[in-house]
Amino acid sequence: MPYVRTVKTKSGATAVQVVWSSQRGSRSIEHIGSAHDEAELEALKAAARQKIAAGQLELDLGLQAAGPSGPLPVTSSRMGHLLDALDRGYRVLGLDEAAGGDEVFRLLVAARVIEPVSKLDSLRVLEEAGTAAPSYATVKRRLPAYAKEEWRQRLSEACAAHARLGPASLVLYDVSTLYFETGQGDGFREPGYSKERRLEPQITIGLLTGQAGFPLMLPAFEGDKGETKTMLPVIREFMAAHQLPDVTVVADAGMISDANMKAIEAEGLSFILGMKVPDVPYLIAQWRREHPGEEIPDGHVFTQPWPAGPKDNRRDQVIYYQYRADRARRALHGIDEQVKKAQKAVNGLAPVKRNRFIQLEGAVKSVNRELEAKARALAGIKGHKTNLAATPDGEPVTADFVISSYHELRNIEKSFRMSKSDLQARPIYHRKRDSIDAHLNIVFAALAVSRWIEARTGWSIRKFVKTARRYREIKIQAGQHVITAADPVPDDLRQALDAINHPR
């Protein structure tokens, strides 16, 4: 292969030569000329390169016709991997069909996952992602359609179909609140009990999910509506919409009032409920009498059957009381701290604040030692009540099944955290009921796509978006030709994308 070399002559000049070498080791040299300064040397090197390139074909990209030399223009830049993954999840879940192929809704859902901002700023997010964004006028015109009850029901049906719910499937239910920075209520946004301890008007949202925390419904209620009054309407609506004869409701003790409990039993619903334990159960007191001075073994479960009487309008129930040493340690630490504060208040060393261990009899303050002893006796005990006779798989119900099912509530708590942090569900920029409902339906669809991606990849949605958005597909105009380039994808992201695009 020929190459250019420079050598020094006896006169001190620099000679430029073209050298042809063969695979057999022989070579021939053609002398191009000698130069005495830099300008002459560069001219001789250019002549040598022309000599080497003589007769070779050139790829005409039309760059000379395009104008003066310089950087080639980038005609488009797209977050291809991220956008394609979001679109894949949206369509696999059936949300595209549920939305009637509405492209604006799909883009708003994608923007909510990429960077949750206002509807107006979502257009900027979409443009930065490299996809054509609708006009703001189009978005405002479409929002009333997204607020309709039929729209919410179709989204819920798509998610329920993906979850493959069957008779007695486990569903998790919990509520939260979203506040508004306004001082006036309007019948929907009203002051009420706030999970965030705020005084502003708020709305109450209920979230119904499958066992793994995949969203099934996200209804909204008035801000002053009690939490316990939201569960049964949601369950009834969901069962009627999907023609389910029964579901097993899993909920925390805070969701269950006496009226709720009676209504659930009257409905004939299956349930696994956390329950408050106001007094030491008889089984635990008996065990302590029979084992004086001993600690209850960690993880020990006390089983108390509670059969229905002939006049009771309910099924037979079982209560499982579980003792956990770590739970007891945390509870006892809290009791110690509260008792210390109560004693300081009684001694006049601290102001009297809300403390359950302070006992007031007229103007006399004292520490309620009886209540303290009762609290210590209950430390580490958690109650779980169920009326299930068999699991959804037809197997006999066990304490492990009931308690582990109750612990699945952490999945719905994760979905709530995602909706509030990753998707910023609080409708800051909305005031009217239709706009709020439309916003929550977009958040619901974004939550479904996010949970689907998390289930496929094992990554958090925040990590996936933060990683995938850095790798773009770029198109470059080179004369009459368009060249496509892409950032190389690291192995971990490649595996995550393969799990999304080629699920097993």
pLDDT for residue 175: 86
Q: Is the pLDDT of residue 470 over 70?
A: yes
Mind listing the pLDDT tens digit for each residue in 170-194? 888 888 888 888 777 788 888 887 7
Helix axes 136-146, 119-129, angle to 10 degrees: 120
Q: What is the pLDDT of residue 55?
A: 64
Residue 219 CA: distances (Å) to CA of 149, 173, 413: 10, 11, 16
Rounded percentage of the chain residues whose pLDDT exceeds 70: 95
Work out the pLDDT band at 4, boundaries 50, 70, 90.
Answer: confident
Q: Which of 25-34, 74-83, 189-198, 476-485 has the highest mean pLDDT?
A: 74-83
> Which of the pair, 253 or 177, is modelled with greater confidence?
177
Q: What is the pTM of this model?
A: 0.78
Q: What percent of the chain has pLDDT over 90?
A: 42
| pLDDT over 80 at 257, yes or no | no
Dump pLDDT digits (tens) for 279-306.
Answer: 999 999 999 999 998 999 999 999 999 9
Give the list of residues 6+ apart from residue 46 with CB closer than 8 angstroms, or none.
none
- Helix, strand, coil in percent for the chain, rounding step 5: 45, 20, 35
Dump pLDDT digits (tens) for 189-235.
888 877 777 778 888 888 899 888 899 999 988 888 887 788 888 88
pLDDT band at 167 (very low <50, low <70, confident <90, very high): low
Q: Based on the number of CB atoms within 10 Å of its own CB, is 65 exposed (0-12), middle (13-18) or buried (19 or more)? A: exposed
Extract long-range pairs of 256-263: CB within 8 Å, 24+ residues apart: 256/228, 257/226, 257/228, 259/228, 260/228, 260/229, 260/231, 260/232, 263/232
For 45, the token pair is 């090197």
pLDDT at 412 over 50: yes
**pLDDT above 50: residue 100:** yes
Residue 419: CB partners within 8 Å, gap ≥ 6? 207, 425, 443, 447
Determine the pLDDT at residue 66.
47
- Which is more confidently placed, 121 or 9? 121
Nearest to 247 by CA among 225, 264, 223: 264
Tell me 228's DSSP state. Answer: G
Listed range (240-244, 315-319, 420-424) with the worst mean pLDDT: 420-424
Token pair listed for 178? 């979203």
Among 250, 231, 261, residue whose Cα is nearest residue 388 = 250
Per-residue model confidence (pLDDT) at position 63 = 52
pLDDT (mean) for 442-455: 95
- DSSP assigned state of 190: B
State residue 241's pLDDT score: 84
Return the ∠ at Cα 444 (arms to 174 and 104), rounded to 5°. 170
Going by C-alpha positions, the residue among 446, 403, 404 that lies closest to residue 212 is 404
* pLDDT tens sequence across 348-393: 888 877 788 888 887 788 889 999 999 999 999 999 999 888 887 7
What DSSP state is assigned to residue 313? S
Summary mean pLDDT of the chain? 86
Local structure of residue 254 (DSSP, 8 states): G
Instruction: Give the pLDDT mean for 56-81.
Output: 68
CA distance 372 to 203: 37
In angstroms, what is the C-alpha Rg of the chain? Answer: 35
pLDDT-based confidence at 445, cuts 50/70/90? very high
Mean pLDDT value of segment 129-148: 94
